[in-house]
Amino acid sequence: MTGNKAVAYKGPGKVELIDIDYPTFELKDGPGVNPANVGRAVNHGVILKTVATNICGSDQHMVRGRTTAPPDLVLGHEITGEVVEVGRDVEFIKVGDVCSVPFNIACGRCRNCKERKTGICLNVNPDRPGSAYGYVDMGGWVGGQANYVLVPYADWNLLKFPDKDRAMEKILDLAMLSDIFPTGFHGAVTAGVGVGSTVYIAGAGPVGLAAATSAHLLGAAVVIVGDLNEDRLARARSFGCETVDLTKGGPAEQIEQILGVPEVDCGVDAVGFEARGHGHGKDAEEAPATVLNSLMDITAAGGALGIPGLYVTGDPGGVDEAAKKGALSLSLGTGWAKSLSFTTGQCPVMKYNRQLMMAILNDKVHIAKNVNAKAITLEEAPQGYAEFDAGAATKYVLNPNGYLS
């Protein structure tokens, strides 16, 4: 039996490399697995040897103890891999194919999948619509920060790279297709970014930087990124963004210095429920509705907010009882008065990933450089999590099987 090591959540602030079973074409019981999914046959799946698997800010929420994730949950939903086994019912994906795995797990058969709403598939998570690998309350599909991982509904879910050698030349860029690049792109698209737009993106983490990259790709005239972290703001400036340092005050007055008016056409929330208030640096107190309320203030009437930042229904570390249930004090009246549109939820990765793959392969975008992607070994994952949590302006890409140089 081939060995399989994986990165697992062990408790607040702690991840460890553990030994886990090599995948089979059946979903087994384990930490976080929904009982209704135990024993589920996955003859439509494949087993991947992991080429790249990224550390995501959404993983970090769990690792901080800010969700109801159980100990020993295997992490990782940003997966790129080479097919080493195919299930009995797989028709089109073959052994040897190198593929990107959308972080959304989708069946391809339900109403929502047929409407391209793959982030809210109805058949893969018994608890609620939508699923993902290695994530709390998402059905219990084992995460991909491991040597090997099972991918269900492979013919539907996998994006095969058209040429393996060409793909490996750009593999750090292509590794961003599983989540952050489509997620950032979705944030920009749903905010209404187009040719000539002015855009404010809250958050200069990897998703925020991906949203900024996407806004440029969509033709924005000015892309402004706000954060409390100067190193991350420097990353944004490195590829042509304007920046707002929120340790120096709120965004409106700084946007006015850039644009001449204190508002933008389009707003993107790439922060989510661990948002902090303005003006107090790294010691700013948590205020989970801050970003959403400030975006409503600075987005022009008739504009839109794209909200790829994660909000949860269960947060043990919430600032009050309401926040622990995901109930936030939103100034909805502001949004109503300004006729603002809102789009929330998981990005439906398949809606965008093929087009973004083509942009990468044809040198129209350099997402890995923009997010400062860095390959590290599986053994270095705990250190990568710690550095990312401390605010490193880096997108950590795990290299479990030595594919990455």
Domains, the chain, with CATH or none: 5-179+348-398 (3.90.180.10), 181-343 (3.40.50.720)
Q: pLDDT tens for residues 298-308?
A: 999 999 999 99
Collapsing DSSP to helix, strand or coil, 24 comes out as coil
Is it the case that residue 309 has pLDDT exceeding 80? Answer: yes
| Interatomic CA distance for residues 20 and 6, integer angstroms | 7
Residue 110: per-residue pLDDT? 98
Q: What per-residue confidence (pLDDT) applies to 5? A: 97
Closest CA to 32 of 47, 42, 24, 20: 20
Most confidently modeled of 31-35, 237-241, 248-252, 290-294?
237-241
- Mean pLDDT of all residues in 342-357: 96
Residue that is written with structure tokens 């409106």 in the block: 252
The chain-wide mean pLDDT, for the chain, equals 94
Structure confidence at residue 290 (pLDDT): 87
Task: Write out pLDDT tens, residues 111-158.
Answer: 999 999 999 999 999 999 999 999 999 999 999 999 999 999 999 999
Q: What average pLDDT score do residues 160-167 get?
A: 96
pLDDT of residue 261: 98
- Crossing angle of helices 206-217/180-190, nearest 10°? 60
Query: Which H, E and C letters describe 257-274, residue by residue?
Result: HHHCCCCEEEEEECCCCC
What are the C-alpha distances in Å from 400 to residues 5, 48, 300, 380? 9, 12, 46, 10
Quick check: helix, strand or coil at residue 3? coil
Give the residue carrying structure tokens 């999948």. 113
- What band does 237 get if pLDDT is binned at 50, 70 and 90? very high
C-alpha span between 58 and 221 (Å, rounded): 30
Q: Is the pLDDT of residue 296 over 60?
A: yes
* Per-residue pLDDT at 1 exceeds 70: no
* pLDDT in the model for residue 316: 78
In terms of DSSP H, where are the helices of 260-344?
290-298, 321-324, 332-337
Query: What pLDDT sits at residue 90?
Result: 98
* Integer CA distances (angstroms), 179 to 134, 147, 210, 314, in order: 13, 19, 10, 22
Return d(Cα 111, Cα 123) in angstroms, integer.
10
Band (pLDDT 50/70/90 cuts) for residue 279 is very low
146, β-bridge pairs? 6
Q: How confident is the model at residue 100 (pLDDT cuts 50, 70, 90)?
A: very high
Q: What's the confidence (pLDDT) of residue 283?
A: 59
Tell me the C-alpha distance between 99 and 82, whole Å. Answer: 6
Q: How many CB atoms lie within 10 A of CB 119?
A: 25
- Going by pLDDT thresholds of 50, 70 and 90, the confidence category of residue 284 is low
**What's the pLDDT tens digit per position in 176-216?**
999 999 999 999 999 999 999 999 999 999 999 999 999 99
Q: What is the pLDDT of residue 403?
A: 97
Classify burial at 18, counting beta carbons within 10 Å of its beta carbon; exposed 0-12, middle 13-18, buried 19 or more: middle
Q: What is the DSSP string of 172-202?
A: HHHGGGGTHHHHHHHHHHHTT--TT-EEEEE
Q: What percent of the chain has pLDDT over 70?
A: 98
Q: What is the pLDDT of residues 44-82, one digit of tens each?
A: 999 999 999 999 998 998 999 888 899 999 999 999 999
pLDDT at 280: 46
Quote the CA–CA distance of 35 and 306 in Å, as a whole number. 34
For residue 398, the cross-strand partners are 53, 376
